[in-house]
Structure 1
Amino acid sequence: MNRGKASFDRIVTFLLFLVFGGIAFWMIGLRLDFAPAQRIGDYVNRDFWADLSARDNYDTILVIAAVVTGLLGLLLIGINIERKRLGRSASPTSAPTGTIRTSPADVASAVAQTFDRRDDVRSATYRASEDRGTDIIEIRLRIPAEVDVTDINTACRRAAADITAALPGQDVLPRFLLQVEQPAHLE
């Protein structure tokens, strides 16, 4: 998630905190007979709220409230689940006679396939995306518990150097995540 989305989420969360915190203060204060809560209650038109469910357009009010809050919820979900994929970019080694375009996703796929062919790796998956303003190639390796992690670590460092060499001039950060399986139970 980039900084703009994170800031927007924090602002929305803070506003919701203020609204629900204020309502909670008011309700608890009324129960405990606090003077400030009683003063807030004086500003509320109790007749309007008491008669609201008896109004002819109450169903319309509920439908409009449901549609508005549903759209706001979908907007917040849409903002938060979008993931920026990395696209092709021109290589600095391109010449005036032609442009060489490289894709971080293609490089990540090749690295994952290389790891997938190893005997000490159960599976390898990849993702090339932007995470908090940083371009990332993420390789996720599932390995058995018995594997020598130093060999995998060496292979990951070699693959990181290969990724950097394959994407010259692009600021792409390789990330390797190792998921170690449960050890086999001996009987």
Structure 2
Amino acid sequence: MNRGKASFDRIVTLLLALVFGGLAFWMIGLRLDLAPAQRIGDYVNKDFWAELSTRDNYDTILVIAAVVTGLLGLLLVGINIERKRLGRSASPTSAPTGTIRTSPADVASAVAQTFEKRDDVRSASYRASEDRGTEIIEIRLRIPAETDVAELNESCRRAAADITAALPGQEVLPRFLLQVEQPARPQ
């Protein structure tokens, strides 16, 4: 998620917290018969809210409110779901006779397949995306608890160097996530 989306989410969250916090204060204050809550209640047109459900167009009001809040919810979800995938880019080793294009996703796939062939790795998955303005190749390795993590860590360092060598001129950050399974329980 980029900084703009993160800032937008924080602002929306702050506004919702203020609205719901204020409503909670008001409702609890009315229940406890606190003077500030009573003063807030004096500003609210109680007749309007009491008669709202008896109005002829109440169903229309509910439908419009549901559509507007539903669209706002879908907008927020849509903004937060997008993940920028890394595309092919021209290699600096290209010549005037032809362009060499490399894809970080292809490189990540090759690295994941190489790790998957190891006996000490149960599964390997990859993702090549942009996270907060940084291009990232993420390799997720699921390993048994008995795995020699120091040896696997060294393999990850070599793979990170290979990724950097395979993508010259690209600022791609390799990230390796190790998911260690729980050890088998003795029976």
The correspondence of residues 59-70 of structure 1 with structure 2, limited to 5 A, is 59-70=59-70
Distance 1:179 1:68 in 2: 42
Shift of 1:186: 2.8
Render the CA deviation track for 1:66-92: whole Å, top value 9, x for unaligned.
111111111111111111111111111
SS in 2 for 1:51: helix
Q: Which runs of 5+ in 2 are unaligned?
A: none
**1:148 alignment counterpart:** 148
Distance 2:12 2:25 in 1: 20
**1:131 alignment counterpart:** 131
Render the CA deviation track for 1:142-187: whole Å, top value 9, x for unaligned.
1111111111111100000000000011000000011111222333
Shift of 1:118: 1.1
**2:30 alignment counterpart:** 30
SS in 1 for 2:53: helix
The correspondence of residues 64-143 of structure 1 with structure 2, limited to 5 A, is 64-143=64-143
Q: Percent identity?
A: 88
Counterpart of 1:185, as a letter, is: R
Shift of 1:38: 2.2
Render the CA deviation track for 1:112-144: whole Å, top value 9, x for unaligned.
011111111111110001112111100011111
SS in 1 for 2:84: coil
Counterpart of 1:106, as a letter, is: D
Distance 2:181 2:40 in 1: 58
Counterpart of 1:13, as a letter, is: T
Counterpart of 2:164, as a letter, is: T
Distance 2:12 2:137 in 1: 31
Counterpart of 1:68, as a letter, is: V
Q: Which runs of 5+ in 1 are unaligned?
A: none
**1:159 alignment counterpart:** 159
Q: 1:30 to 1:185 in 2, by over 3 A?
A: closer
SS in 2 for 1:137: strand
Counterpart of 1:147, as a letter, is: T
Distance 1:12 1:141 in 2: 36
